[in-house]
């Protein structure tokens, strides 16, 4: 058996107010006349956060549109525009949630790799290192800050650029900048971490490395969403570490039924990852009885709305497309149900599940 050799991010700074150190941190990576490019989630347009970025020389802030999850053609366009305008850049800094960080990673890679990002959707296809890249999460839970992928929707598939060139050179974990996230969004994104941990810890893949990280992430999610009665600075601190630990736990684990089913949803309906996982997990008592019970309690306690009836009125053909996408996620099903997973889930059962969503 061969164990994955896991590429780590280069540097991590964690602390309240560490966002203010950004200018110093990126300084040694500046190249003459090549700007630093700040991808900022469009949610922050007109808000305070972008004003705190220290722009130097021809640096540029680009508010990225993450209404939909990143598409390969958007990545290609951003990279082409930067090449046209600057030739090369010193680095790309992604400030936002998982989509913004994934965009930053993908565009960094496409500054130095020929063709389209769609050519690199898969495992270890990227040929050259990208430009210097920094991830700064403003929402906690995705784990994108430490992952070796960047989830992209391409012309033929939704799949990341998985490679050792993909992880960030630097991440800045400043819980202060997550403080004002909208409560619903914060919950959905936090649950990305919680659900991932339930799936991996109850799965058939797992070793002590991923277990340690997964258990810690789960514990921190519980402190935040179960134990605490009001949201405070400590919650931001802990959820940020939950996200980091949840992301690290991916090294030797795999997600399960919720992710496999929600990929179908997001492929067909464009449902975003965090909320999609919540919609699905809400109906998975059969597979994760304890986790779903706790999830429902957290939903109630935190006063969150989980959308219902999202599959109402879909055609047979649409259901079939979701089922095709979901059953294609073989490692997820195997992790959740074991090597003989195909005996335990079939199209009919999956159709029933989708109809409940």
Cβ contact 75:152 at 8 Å? yes
Complex with a copy of itself: residue 6 or 63, whichever CB lies closer? 6
Q: CB-wise, 170 or 262, nearer to a copy of itself?
A: 170
Please state the closest distance from residue 150 (CB atom) to a copy of itself, in A: 19
- Residues contacting 195, CB < 8 A, separation 6+: 255, 258, 259, 277, 278, 281, 291, 295
Nearest distance, CB of residue 18 and a copy of itself, angstroms: 5
Nearest distance, CB of residue 11 and a copy of itself, angstroms: 5
Please calculate the CA angle 354-297-176 and round it to the nearest 5 degrees. 100
Using CB under 8 A as the binding criterion, the count of chain residues that bind a copy of itself stands at: 38
10 is an interface residue for a copy of itself by CB under 8 A: yes
Query: Tokens 């009665």 identify what position?
Result: 229
Smallest distance, a copy of itself to C-beta of residue 198, A: 18
Cα dist from 242 to 146, 175, 336, whole Å = 12, 12, 22
Choose the binding region for a copy of itself from 111-119, 176-184, 213-221, 285-293 (rule: CB under 8 A): 213-221
**What's the rounded Cα separation, in Å, for the pair 58 and 327?**
48
Residues 349, 324, 305: CA angle, nearest 5 degrees: 65
Through-space distance between the first and last CA atoms of the chain, rounded to whole angstroms: 39
Which positions ≥6 away from 318 have C-beta within 8 Å?
268
> Considering the rule CB under 8 A, would residue 179 count as an interface residue with a copy of itself?
no
* Member of 120, 252, 287, 295 binding a copy of itself (CB under 8 A): 252
Which of these, 88, 92, 193, lies nearest to 146 by C-alpha position? 193
Minimum CB–partner distance for residue 235 and a copy of itself (Å): 10
Task: Pick between residue 241 and residue 304 the one whose CB is nearest to a copy of itself.
Answer: 241
| Residue 182 within binding range of a copy of itself, rule CB under 8 A | no
Binding residues for a copy of itself, rule: CB under 8 A, are 1-15, 17-18, 21, 25, 170, 173, 175, 207-209, 212, 215-216, 220, 234, 237-238, 240-241, 244-245, 251-252
């Amino acid at each position: 058996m061969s164990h994955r050799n896991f590429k780590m991010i280069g540097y991590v700074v964690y602390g309240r107010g560490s966002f203010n150190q950004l200018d110093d941190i990126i300084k040694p990576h500046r190249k003459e006349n090549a700007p630093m490019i700040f991808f900022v989630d469009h949610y922050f347009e007109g808000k305070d956060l972008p004003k705190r970025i220290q722009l130097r020389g021809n640096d540029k802030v680009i508010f990225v549109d993450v209404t939909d999850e990143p598409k390969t053609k958007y990545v290609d366009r951003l990279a082409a525009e930067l090449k046209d305008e600057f030739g090369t850049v010193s680095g790309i800094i992604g400030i936002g949630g998982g989509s913004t960080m994934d965009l930053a990673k993908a565009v960094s890679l496409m500054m130095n790799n020929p063709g389209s990002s769609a050519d690199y959707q898969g495992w270890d296809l990227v040929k050259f290192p990208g430009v210097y890249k920094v991830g700064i999460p403003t929402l906690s839970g995705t784990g994108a800050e430490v992952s070796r992928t960047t989830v992209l929707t391409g012309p033929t598939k939704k799949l990341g650029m998985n490679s050792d060139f993909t992880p960030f050179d630097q991440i800045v974990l400043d819980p202060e900048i997550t403080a004002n996230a909208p409560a619903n969004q914060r919950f959905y994104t936090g649950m990305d971490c919680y659900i991932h941990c339930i799936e991996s810890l109850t799965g058939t893949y797992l070793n002590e490395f991923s277990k340690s990280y997964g258990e810690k992430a789960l514990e921190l999610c519980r402190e935040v969403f179960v134990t605490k009665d009001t949201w405070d600075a400590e919650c931001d601190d802990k959820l940020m570490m939950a996200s980091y630990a949840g992301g690290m736990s991916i090294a030797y684990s795999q997600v399960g039924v919720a992710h496999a089913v929600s990929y179908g949803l997001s492929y067909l309906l464009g449902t975003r990852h965090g909320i999609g996982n919540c919609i699905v997990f809400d109906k998975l008592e059969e597979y994760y009885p304890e986790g779903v019970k706790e999830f429902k309690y957290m939903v109630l306690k935190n006063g969150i709305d989980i959308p219902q009836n999202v599959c109402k009125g879909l055609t047979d053909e649409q259901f079939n497309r979701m089922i095709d996408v979901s059953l294609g996620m073989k490692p997820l099903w195997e992790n959740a149900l074991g090597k003989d997973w195909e005996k335990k889930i079939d199209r009919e059962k999956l159709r029933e599940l989708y109809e409940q969503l």
